[in-house]
Amino acid sequence: MDQIRIKAEPRSEQGTGAVRRLRKTGMIPGSVMKMKKGGTELIKLPAHDFMMAMRGHASKQLLVTLDMDGKEVPALMREMQNDVLAGTPIHVDFSEVSLSEKVRVTVPLQLVGEPVGVKLGGGVLEQVLRTIDVDCLPTDIAESFDVDVSGLGLDQTLFVRDLKLGDAQTVVTHGELAVAVVKAPDDAVPGAAPAAGEAAKAPEVIKKGKEDEAAAGDKKKEEKK
C-alpha cells in the first residue's frame, strides 16, 4: 500500500453548530484514539488535501501518517462518515498504531475470473461473503483481496479456509464460512405449460361433467312423466 500522508492539527471546536461552521471553512473534523496515553484527541483536516490523499483508495481502513505540527503519527483510519447527499467526508476517526504490532482489520473480497461451472455448465455465481477479518501489521494492510473463482464447477463452494492470502495476514473469520458458490440453473421454469399428459386429462374431466349433467336432466324428465 502506498504511504498516505495527511496534515492534521488539534481542534477545540465541539458541538453541532461549531462543527458545522468548521466545515464551512474547508476543514473536516476528526479524532485520534491515542495508543499510549489513552483517551481521544480532537483534530481537524484540510478537506481538499484529505480528499486528494484519498483518491484511488476505496477502503475505509487505511494506514496513514498524520503530520501533526511536524510530528509524524502512524494511525489507522477506522471510519469515515460522508454527507448523504454530496457524498463528501464530514468526519474521520483514526486510531494511533505501532508499526511493529499487529492490528485487526476488515478487508473486502473481490471475486475474479469466470467459473468453469458458469462458462460450461450455465451455472450462476453467487458471492456469499464480501469481507474478511484478518490480523496483520499496519504496513501489511490490504485494501482488498482478489479471490480467483475460475476453478469452481457446478454446485461447488469456495470456503474461507480455501483462501490463499499469504503469510502476512492471519485469517480470523471462521474457515467454514462460504465465500462464493456456483449454483446450477433452476430446472423449473415459471409459467411453463403443463405436461402433455396433464393437458390431455382436462377435457376428460369436462366431458364427464357434462355427461353427468345430461343424465340428471333425463332423470328429472322421467320423474315428471
One domain for residues 83 and 39: yes
Tell me whether residue 165 is in a domain.
yes
One domain for residues 52 and 120: no
CB neighbourhood size of 146 (10 A): 10
Q: SS3 for 127?
A: strand
Q: Residue 143's domain is classified under what CATH number?
A: 2.170.120.20
Q: Which of 97, 132, 148 is the last residue of a domain?
A: 97
Number of domains in the chain: 3
Tell me whether residue 188 is in a domain.
no
Q: Which of 48, 75, 97 is the last residue of a domain?
A: 97
Q: For residue 169, give its domain range.
A: 104-183
The candidate with the shortest Cα–Cα distance to 180, out of 92, 84, 112, is 112
Distance CA 1, CA 63 (A): 8
Q: H or E segment at 95?
A: strand 89-96
Tell me whether residue 109 is in a domain.
yes
* Pairing between β-strand 62-68 and β-strand 27-33 as defined by DSSP bridges: unpaired
Q: Which three cell numbers stand for residue 177?
A: 464460512
Q: SS3 for 37?
A: coil
Distance CA 20, CA 47 (A): 13
One domain for residues 16 and 66: yes
Distance CA 19, CA 33 (A): 19
One domain for residues 169 and 113: yes
One domain for residues 120 and 178: yes
Q: SS3 for 73?
A: strand
- In order along its 225 residues, the chain shows pLDDT tens digits of 567 899 999 998 888 899 999 999 999 999 999 877 778 999 999 999 999 988 888 777 889 999 988 899 999 998 999 989 888 899 999 999 999 999 999 999 999 999 999 999 999 999 999 999 999 999 999 989 999 999 999 999 999 999 999 899 999 999 999 999 999 987 334 443 443 333 434 444 444 444 555 555 555 545 544
Tell me whether residue 111 is in a domain.
yes
Q: H or E segment at 46?
A: strand 40-46
Q: Which of 71, 97, 123 is the last residue of a domain?
A: 97
One domain for residues 111 and 80: no
pTM of the model: 0.72
